[in-house]
Amino acid sequence: MNMLKILIVTMDYPPPMGGIQTFTYDLETGLKKLGHKVEVLNFDSKNINLLSKFKVRDLFYTPATLHPYFSLMNIAKSSQPIIRLRNLFYNNLVYRESKLAIQEFKPDIIHLTKSDLFSSVYCSKIPFLVSCHSEELIDIYPVRYSLQNASLIHSVSNYAKKKVLQIVPERVNDINVIYNSVDLSYWKKYRKTDKNNWIITICRLVKRKNVDSVIKAFGLLPQEFRDRYKYFIIGDGPERQHLENLVKELNIQDNVLFLGQVNDKEKTRLLSSSKLFVLCPTLIKNENEGFGITYIESQAVGVPVLGSNNGGVIDAVGDGGLLVKNELDPQEISTDIQLILSDQNLYNNLVTNINKRIRQFDSSDQVNSIVSMYHKVTNK
């Protein structure tokens, strides 16, 4: 197959290594390994200074934002006018920078890592592919434009596919479900059979991750169980103070430890040494777990998982763990934690299942599948 020039447009690029950041990084790395020429246009305000890219002209409408959605009247009527106004300026910047990058790089195809990056491809004649996750899939003009005009649509889970079809049902035959994946060669190096009595959660500490229910569940474990296990929480975010206060209220601070952000090597060490990964996210407004790459990372090092029966979690967990029916019920979470860690036959069966299913989540296979989509679109 011919080598391609691929422009990746993203607003999620590491650091930190969240789910979409990992997807973007692995995609870029995998494409380059295959010999394709890749450029990444990064609009992630978390790790670049977008203000330095901003120009006075971005205060004014561009062809991409000449739409009623961005009219000052509609912005004023919205529930978050400041954010919508900021989005206007942001999309003007994205339109201008993308147009310049397309002219200079002359890509064969453009890959948007999120559907709300519509202004980067607005009225471009270059074919483009869009990856869909979850929380960005809202039926608004920017998202709808991308989904209607994309040459093909990549969905990271069946749940994300359902959300896409709610917006553009006519594109049912243009959606490819390709699960988020990890570099198995990296993770398998850290697999170990001897595990510590650790339960672990890795996520951004926001409400929809529902870490408070897991903390309450840990507090409901029998005393001898709590004395035997440590519960590590890796990550940071606006909920951290509330969660730390909850741990103190439940008087379980000796066994529940907040480790904050850790580097990749330390995260891998802690995860591979744990007996169980627990993350039971819930739906808040339109935000839900589109897939959950940490479930796959956990299984890649042979650690069973406990998740919630919603969103893309179902695809990510599979038969390598259990799903709670009601993620807001700490007692149910507590019962399932005890079940997995007390029933050795169940635990061994989950590990056996993991060893079989994890093969389908290798990032090299994911990249190859996406490249097949590129070739289908470009006919190269």
The answer to whether residues 33 and 112 belong to one domain is yes
φ and ψ of 270, to 5 deg:
-65, -40
**Are 142 and 290 found together in one domain?**
no
Sorting pLDDT into bands at 50, 70 and 90, what band is 19? confident
Answer for the pair 371, 152: CB distance below 8 angstroms, yes or no.
no
Mean pLDDT over 176-201 rounds to 92
DSSP state of 253: T
**pLDDT surpassing 90 at residue 192:** no
Please name the residues in contact with 79: beta carbons below 8 A apart, sequence gap of 6 or more.
Answer: none
Binned at pLDDT 50, 70 and 90, residue 188 comes out as confident
How many CA atoms does the CB half-sphere of 69 hold within 13 Å? Answer: 16
Q: Do both 166 and 190 map to the same domain?
A: no
Number of domains the chain contains: 2
For 33-53, the pLDDT digits (tens) are: 999 999 999 998 776 677 788
Distance separating alpha carbons of residues 40 and 111, to the nearest angstrom:
9
Domain match, 177 and 215 both: no
Predicted pLDDT at 316: 93
For 275-305, the pLDDT digits (tens) are 999 999 998 876 777 788 899 999 999 999 9
pLDDT digits (tens, 9 = 90+) for 304-315: 999 999 988 999
User: What is the average pLDDT across 108-116?
Assistant: 96
CA 99 to chain centre: 27
Average pLDDT over residues 243-263: 95
Six-digit token string for 237: 């975010």
pLDDT at 286: 67
Task: Copy the structure tokens of residue 176.
Answer: 């490819």
Domain of 12, CATH number, reads: 3.40.50.2000
Residue 263 CB neighbour total at 10 angstroms:
11
Strands 230-234 and 256-260: parallel
Q: Check whether residue 93 and residue 215 sit in a common domain.
A: no
> What does the angle CA 256 – CA 283 – CA 326 come to, to the nearest 5 degrees?
65
Give me the domain span that covers residue 50.
5-181+362-378
pLDDT, position 290: 79
Question: CB-based burial of residue 296 (10 Å sphere; 0-12 exposed, 13-18 middle, 19+ buried)?
Answer: buried
- On whether both 240 and 351 belong to a single domain, the answer is yes
The pLDDT score that the predictor gives to residue 167 is 97
138 and 161 Cβ atoms separated by less than 8 Å: no
pLDDT given at position 22? 87
Instruction: Copy the structure tokens of residue 213.
Output: 């229910």
For residues 77 and 213, state if they share a domain.
no
Q: How far apart are CA 91 and CA 86, in angstroms?
A: 9
Per-residue pLDDT band for 17 (boundaries 50, 70, 90) equals low
Angle between the 293-300 and 19-33 helix axes, to the nearest 10 degrees? 70
pLDDT of residue 1: 60
Mean pLDDT, residues 233-250 taken together: 96
Mean pLDDT (the chain, rounded)? 93
Q: 32 and 22, same structural domain?
A: yes
Give the mean model confidence (pLDDT) for residues 78-82.
88
Question: DSSP string covering 14-51, please?
Answer: SSS--HHHHHHHHHHHHHHHTT-EEEEEE--TTTS-HH
Over residues 263-269, mean pLDDT: 91
Q: Residue range 215-225: average pLDDT?
A: 95
Residues 113 and 57 in one domain: yes
- What's the pLDDT tens digit per position in 329-377? 999 999 999 999 999 999 999 999 999 999 999 989 999 999 999 999 9
CA 312/CA 289 separation, integer angstroms: 6
Residue 170 and residue 50 share a domain: yes
Beta-bridge partners for 108: none
Cα separation, 342 vs 247, in Å, equals 24
**Whether residue 292 is found in the same domain as residue 318:** yes
User: Residue 235 corresponds to which tokens in the numbers above?
Assistant: 């990550």
Q: Residue 27: what pLDDT? A: 94
For the chain, give the percent of residues with pLDDT over 90: 82
- Judged by average pLDDT, the poorest of 120-129, 189-198, 232-241 is 189-198
Determine what percent of the chain is predicted with pLDDT higher than 70.
Answer: 98
Is-contact 312 156, C-beta < 8 A?
yes
Mean pLDDT (whole number) for 249-261: 95
H-helix or E-strand spanning residue 164: helix 158-167
Question: Which of 222, 346, 216 lies closest to 275, judged by CA?
Answer: 346
**Residues 130 and 150 placed together within one structural domain of the fold:** yes
- Please give the Cα distance from 87 to 70 (Å, whole number): 9
pLDDT confidence bin for 129, thresholds 50/70/90: very high
